[in-house]
Structure 1
Amino acid sequence: MDTTCYTNRELSWLQFNERVLNEAGNARVPLAERLSFAAIYQSNLDEFFMVRVGTLMVQMHSDEKIRENKTNMTSEEQVKAILKRVAELEQKKSRIYEQLMGELEPQGIRIINFNKLSNEEGALLETYFDQNIAPFLSPMIIGKQQPFPFLNNKQLYALVLLSTKGGKGKMGIVPCTNSVFKRLIEIPSRPGTFMLCEELILHFVSKLYPKYTVREKSIMRVTRNADIDATDVLDEDLDYRDVMEHLIKQRTRLSPVRLELSRQINDKTQKELAKFLGVHKRHIIKVDTPLDLSFGFQLQGYLRDKTNLFYERRSPQMTPALNLKESILDQVAKKDVLLSYPFESMKPFLRMLHEAAEDDSVVSIKMTLYRVAERSKVIDALIEAAENGKEVVVLVELRARFDEANNIEMSKRLEDAGCHIIYGLGMYKVHSKLCLITRHTEQGLSYITQIGTGNYNEKTSRLYTDLSLLTGNQKIGAEAARVFKSLMLGETVEQTEHLLVAPKCLQNKVIAMIDAEEQKALRGEPAYVGVKINSLTDKAIIEKLIEASKAGVKIELIVRGICCLVPGIPGETENITVVSVVGRFLEHSRIYRFGVGADEKIYIASADFMTRNTIKRVEVAAPIYDEEIRDRLRHIFDTVMADDEKGKQQTCDRAYVDRNLHEKKLNSQELFYEEAYRATATQDPATAAQDQDN
């Protein structure tokens, strides 16, 4: 098997997370914001172990020897490679963390240990420990009558190795996570100077075991597999929502996949821990930074008055394409509108939903929901519509990982309001971002359709770059209606003319459009493919891209995260360029481009080029027919492609490197915000002010 043009998906993901970590050490990023990138790196890695490593470890213990289909690595080989790479990244994280902490000191913020305290300060903290922490701790000793306790996922514990005068050793464990005491304990005599509560507990842990001598000690943290199996949910005799609630509870007790230690402990104890937890000793990782970096967000609160340490404040602007004083439904019926988040506000879409809830001409609202905000205005609008007598059909995907509980709660609220709820679609997760408003007007049946690249979530619309198309195109509306009809029947769409709809009408159509460009190149005509996605793992599409590159098609790929295709290999992928942008906002929008000039086909989509998206989920891509919006999407794509401030280009040796394309570095996200502000400034001042207030 020739693996020259491929990268393992797990190792590629670790490269992406390293780019996140690099932002924590990037001197051009405001200091306080770098704390966020450090914490995000860690939370990303936690989820990676919980989902990807957890899945690989399950595969390792199966009878069938599963190999990854691009690099031919077994599950065990992948896990070993991951652990080796993570160990290397831990060293880099430690250097960046020390650098960050050093740069925070001149700003009056310090995280210290007991070695840097005076005797008086040490005495104060000891009193604080005795009065405010020790009474709430539950120290345990492991023995025949006290079995090894269950360690909760991602919680902090003090591990102590104890001995008595007789010399017999024992193991003690103290939970350090508690809602009673704070994680950051401020030193009274030094404002802005903190000690982490787990370090304070570890320092005085001997007071919890007065009859023993503490020989070794460390903070530890276990990560558990979180990839719950929803197969049983497909049993038609079981209540879908009840089973999902049960599975969520099961997740908290799944097998460990990693144990982190803050200090080195002896080899014998490590083997005992590995045996207790049911993992190989290689899954025990020594970490030289605090095991939970989320306190960085708390530190930011102490720095808020120093605005120079943060990004410049930005607020989503109102699109100049709509006037909120007039009916949005009527405006969209006349002309397509594109909203670009977070640079433009989600408010026009929310206003359109509320308008539809109250409009007498609106017969029904149908919507697919994958992730929504906890206090969702979208849910409020749908409930309002149902209470006003509209037919409201909502597909709530209960299998949206880590959002299952929130989606279950939202489904109950919608159901109580009289909405018709669909829970997913059998073997296929529904990941599409599709909303269909059906009206009965004097001219007859009329559709307003919204198709997006991101979730209906007001919070993430301010943090992720996403695109949302509002269209009155009746052919698109009719196909969207077919999608919903199929979902309500528990089926998938078999054929489409305008929309690309996975699992049966997306991958094949994408490959066909790449093939059409390949045929142009073979005829000596200009040929082009441009794709902006989060991940590229679909082997069928990758093989077609390689084939097209060999034929001479110019291919530009903006892939934020996993990219299993290696560009720039002579004779293979030399016509392919891969760029990844990691910046202030999470790049999340998907754009597909095929062809050049007037014949170019442009889509926005909910789907990445991953097999799970292209043939294992319900996804929707929408064609863009409006010429102004087409030009705008070309501008967005080309600008991100040319970003040399936050964009890194992948080389043929799989490395991601800086580029110097402009005399002054181009930051695409900052440019898009500047453009949004300028567009708002050109509006009538009274209209703009009224729009911002709404």
Structure 2
Amino acid sequence: MVEKTQTIPNVENQYRNRELSWLQFNARVLQEAGDPTVPLIERFRFLGIFSNNLDEFFKVRYATIKRIAEAGKGGRSFLGGISAKDLLEEITQTVIEQQATSLRILSKIETELQKENIYIIDEKEVTPAQSKFISDYFIRKVSPALVTIMIGELEQFPSLKDSAAYLAVKMVMSKEDETFEEKINYALIEIPRIIDRFVVLPPEGDRQYIILLDDLIRHCLQNIFSIFKYKSISAHMIKITRDAELDIDSDLSKSFIDKISKSVKNRSAGDPVRFVYDKSIDQKTLRFLMDKMGIDTTDSIIPGGRYHNRRDYMDFPSLGREDLLYERKDPLPVPGLNLQGSLFEQIAEKDYLLYAPYQSFSYVVKLLREAALDPKVTTIKITIYRLAEVSHIASSLINAAKNGKEVTVQIELQARFDEAANIKYAEQMQSENVRLIFGVSGLKVHCKACLIERIEKEKIKRYAFVSTGNFNESTARIYTDYTLFTSNQKICKEINRVFDFFEVNYKIKKYRHLIVSPHYTRNAIYSLIETEIQNRRNGLSSGIKLKLNSLSDFKMIDKLYEASRAGVEIQLIVRGICCLVPGVKGMSENIKVISIVDKYLEHPRLFIFNNAGSPKMYISSADFMGRNLDNRVEITCPIYNTEIQQELLDTFEISWNDNVKARIVSDKLDNAYRKNSKERLRSQFKLYDYYLDKLNG
């Protein structure tokens, strides 16, 4: 075991705070929305991603910090030197500034859309012809789905749904109205989630018109409240975000599925952590709502624009305008791996690497479908973390079980925000005789692996695929991830040991090839870094190249600092959280960090260690975060095939040399784009061309 590295002397701010670093990542997403070179409708969608990210951040991270603050704990030791209370205030201020930026960007995008004859109108801009269409649409589709609550007369305020958008309606009653004692009354209208947020109106000539569902409802307020006599009526949007932590029932008589299902349902009653409101709402209405909802000073109170739940912009209609979208590029085949032939026969000959979405995810589904039908296949074992809404993976596994294969699925029911979907699939697979394992007590199973056993020449031969991302057809179109297909029996044998650990987890398995969390990853990575340190000191070639989603573990950062001080050159591509501070003399001057945010979500974990010129390379499901190293089951898989090693090195270098969408991560926290005099290189576009050249070469 490598000795624990000592704290670096005389250097302030050794670590960035995790939450503030994450907000910097979300600012990079917002940069994409504001980038005039990004197609217009795609810019809308980046605004939606920015908003959706914020929702999840408040449900999980802000809620956690709030609990620390309410418990009276400072939290400085694991919050990067800032107290929980101060951190809450800084988060709120940062988010207010980012929200203001997002509103300015939204206004610019809408102005640009008008130049393309696309108009987003509100209820005051509706023409008589559009009004007739809207009234009919409201009666047919919207009115039956509306939930309207008269809150002025209620003794107990209703519990608002997490992240749902509501119109807070204020009515100033006429003198002759005797319905209410109060002359000012209030109602809440829940914006239905089952109806598209953007309603496309009939075109007029070359012009296309869209109205948001919120404004369509505002236009029809008279229809909703026609039984009341009021002098004036107004509606302003509000939204509440709740703590998303699951409270797992300890009742031993209940199944694990039942416990998680109940906990997910109870999540809607979690404590509020963020309240967003239309800043043009009158103060009396705002105070009334906040008092009734019990919003207090530890909650994040965000004055916003007219519209909330801008995450819905992720589904902004395309309107048939392909010229306002990214050019569609079909996923490429993997060179030498023929979907028309038997994948087993081909993988038996050599390993293959799939890099989605540049290459087709169909190979994963095809291999499972082939396994489901192949009479030689006896067993399929797979881990599942997040499935697509309509999952061909799940249907293939069920098909295999129907054909008499022994199918074992380790499904993670506590995959954040996908619990309900996984419960649905777990129940479906269970009813079809698929054997389910619900993980290891106290550990999430986050690794992505599948093992298939086949009888060949009267012996069991194993095949496997291991991935850096989920076995999910939907996300495979927008997340970049590596998947290794292999019949290396040593690796396959150790993947089987991981599945054995799920069943008998009081026995800790040993591995010579795989690096497996929670027992081995931390020390194995320490050891690999230490080898680079010793090689550098001994005059041998050294270097570390890492591609990660997040880097937040302080001890791992200390080890990288130690390598930097020894003179090891370290290149880091970190998409999201980066608590490491690069480029500080005496601490990290040999570490450079970039982050790439572009068309696709960068998701692979790739580790490359120079190893005195004989590189050691790994793909992994694990980031360098405490939870991945110590509290989850993760697989880091070695790459032995030299062709694939070169491919991984090539793809890393293409990403590292990006000078269009790469941002420099530095102590300035300004998300500055990397600019240089070299030829423009946009890595995600270049990677597609790289694989296209491989096919044509």
- In the TM superposition, what is the alpha-carbon distance from 1:463 to its structure 2 partner? 1.1
SS at match of 1:338: strand
Pick the aligned partner of 2:192 from 162, 178, 187.
178
Which residue matches 1:99?
108
Which residue matches 2:627?
612
Which residue matches 2:433?
418
Pick the aligned partner of 1:40 from 43, 49, 57.
49
Distance verdict in 2 for CA 1:74–1:475, change over 3 Å: same
Distance verdict in 2 for CA 1:179–1:637, change over 3 Å: closer
SS at match of 1:583: coil
Which residue matches 1:642?
657
Q: Distance in 1 between matches of 2:17 and 2:345?
A: 49
1:252 is aligned to 2:261:
no
Distance verdict in 2 for CA 1:393–1:576, change over 3 Å: same
Pick the aligned partner of 2:90 from 81, 91, 97.
81
Amino acid at match of 1:366: K
Distance verdict in 2 for CA 1:524–1:279, change over 3 Å: farther
Distance verdict in 2 for CA 1:625–1:289, change over 3 Å: farther
Which residue matches 2:16?
7
Which residue matches 2:371?
356
1:58 is aligned to 2:67:
yes
Amino acid at match of 2:118: I
SS at match of 1:656: coil
After superposition, where does 1:466-505 map in structure 2 within 5 Å? 466-491=481-506, 493-505=508-520
> Percent same amino acid at aligned positions?
35
Assess if the C-alpha contact under 8 Å between 1:141 and 1:170 holds in 2.
no
Which residue matches 2:167?
158
Amino acid at match of 1:279: I
Q: Distance in 1 between matches of 2:459 and 2:134?
A: 77
1:114-152, Cα deviation, whole Å (9 max, x unpaired): 55456x469658966985667875544434544322222
Distance verdict in 2 for CA 1:168–1:236, change over 3 Å: closer
Which residue matches 2:255?
239
SS at match of 2:269: coil
SS at match of 1:511: helix
Q: Distance in 2 between matches of 1:327 and 1:183?
A: 45
Q: Distance in 2 between matches of 1:606 and 1:581?
A: 19
After superposition, where does 1:122-521 map in structure 2 within 5 Å? 124=132, 139-143=148-152, 145-164=154-173, 170-178=184-192, 183-185=197-199, 190=204, 192-202=208-218, 205=221, 208=225, 210-214=228-232, 217-230=235-248, 232=249, 236-280=252-296, 283-288=300-305, 290-294=307-311, 296-297=313-314, 299-302=316-319, 304=320, 306-442=321-457, 444-491=459-506, 493-521=508-536
Amino acid at match of 1:178: P
Assess if the C-alpha contact under 8 Å between 1:221 and 1:260 holds in 2.
yes
Assess if the C-alpha contact under 8 Å between 1:68 and 1:75 holds in 2.
no
Assess if the C-alpha contact under 8 Å between 1:260 and 1:285 holds in 2.
yes
Distance verdict in 2 for CA 1:181–1:9, change over 3 Å: closer
Q: Distance in 2 between matches of 1:188 and 1:307?
A: 19
SS at match of 1:365: strand
- In the TM superposition, what is the alpha-carbon distance from 1:56 to its structure 2 partner? 2.1
Distance verdict in 2 for CA 1:481–1:674, change over 3 Å: same
Distance verdict in 2 for CA 1:402–1:551, change over 3 Å: same
After superposition, where does 1:594-613 map in structure 2 within 5 Å? 594-596=609-611, 598-613=613-628
Assess if the C-alpha contact under 8 Å between 2:572 and 2:594 holds in 1.
yes
Q: Distance in 1 between matches of 2:653 and 2:384?
A: 30
Q: Distance in 2 between matches of 1:512 and 1:596?
A: 11
- In the TM superposition, what is the alpha-carbon distance from 1:416 to its structure 2 partner? 2.2
Which residue matches 1:691?
none
1:74-99, Cα deviation, whole Å (9 max, x unpaired): 33222211110000001110111011
TM-score, normalised on structure 1?
Answer: 0.91
Which residue matches 1:692?
none
Q: Distance in 2 between matches of 1:556 and 1:64?
A: 36
Distance verdict in 2 for CA 1:472–1:27, change over 3 Å: same
Q: Distance in 1 between matches of 2:573 and 2:303?
A: 35
SS at match of 2:539: coil
Assess if the C-alpha contact under 8 Å between 2:167 and 2:191 holds in 1.
no
SS at match of 1:13: helix
Q: Distance in 2 between matches of 1:41 and 1:491?
A: 42
Assess if the C-alpha contact under 8 Å between 1:217 and 1:263 holds in 2.
no
Assess if the C-alpha contact under 8 Å between 2:198 and 2:317 holds in 1.
no
1:635-690, Cα deviation, whole Å (9 max, x unpaired): 111111111111111123233211124543211111121233333345xxxxxxxx
1:181-225, Cα deviation, whole Å (9 max, x unpaired): 764445558452233232343466477274344486421122222
Amino acid at match of 2:192: N
RMSD (Å), alpha carbons:
2.6
SS at match of 1:579: strand
Assess if the C-alpha contact under 8 Å between 1:534 and 1:562 holds in 2.
yes
Q: Which runs of 5+ in 2 are unaligned?
A: 1-6, 176-180
SS at match of 1:392: strand
Q: Distance in 2 between matches of 1:134 and 1:387?
A: 45
Q: Distance in 2 between matches of 1:480 and 1:295?
A: 40
- In the TM superposition, what is the alpha-carbon distance from 1:268 to its structure 2 partner? 4.9
Which residue matches 1:112?
121
Q: Distance in 2 between matches of 1:198 and 1:77?
A: 36
Distance verdict in 2 for CA 1:88–1:651, change over 3 Å: same
Distance verdict in 2 for CA 1:469–1:145, change over 3 Å: closer
Which residue matches 1:30?
39
Assess if the C-alpha contact under 8 Å between 2:546 and 2:573 holds in 1.
yes
Distance verdict in 2 for CA 1:186–1:527, change over 3 Å: closer
Mean Cα deviation higher: 108-117 or 496-505: 108-117
- In the TM superposition, what is the alpha-carbon distance from 1:3 to its structure 2 partner? 4.8
1:546-574, Cα deviation, whole Å (9 max, x unpaired): 11111111111110001111111111111
Amino acid at match of 1:547: E
Distance verdict in 2 for CA 1:579–1:611, change over 3 Å: same
Amino acid at match of 1:174: L
- In the TM superposition, what is the alpha-carbon distance from 1:71 to its structure 2 partner? 1.5
- In the TM superposition, what is the alpha-carbon distance from 1:500 to its structure 2 partner? 0.7
Q: How many residues align?
A: 677
SS at match of 1:24: helix
Q: Which runs of 5+ in 1 are unaligned?
A: 683-694
Distance verdict in 2 for CA 1:511–1:268, change over 3 Å: farther
Pick the aligned partner of 2:683 from 644, 647, 668.
668
- In the TM superposition, what is the alpha-carbon distance from 1:447 to its structure 2 partner? 1.7
Q: Distance in 2 between matches of 1:349 and 1:127?
A: 48
Pick the aligned partner of 2:596 from 571, 581, 597.
581
Q: Distance in 1 between matches of 2:254 and 2:231?
A: 54
- In the TM superposition, what is the alpha-carbon distance from 1:358 to its structure 2 partner? 2.8
Q: Distance in 2 between matches of 1:492 and 1:96?
A: 55
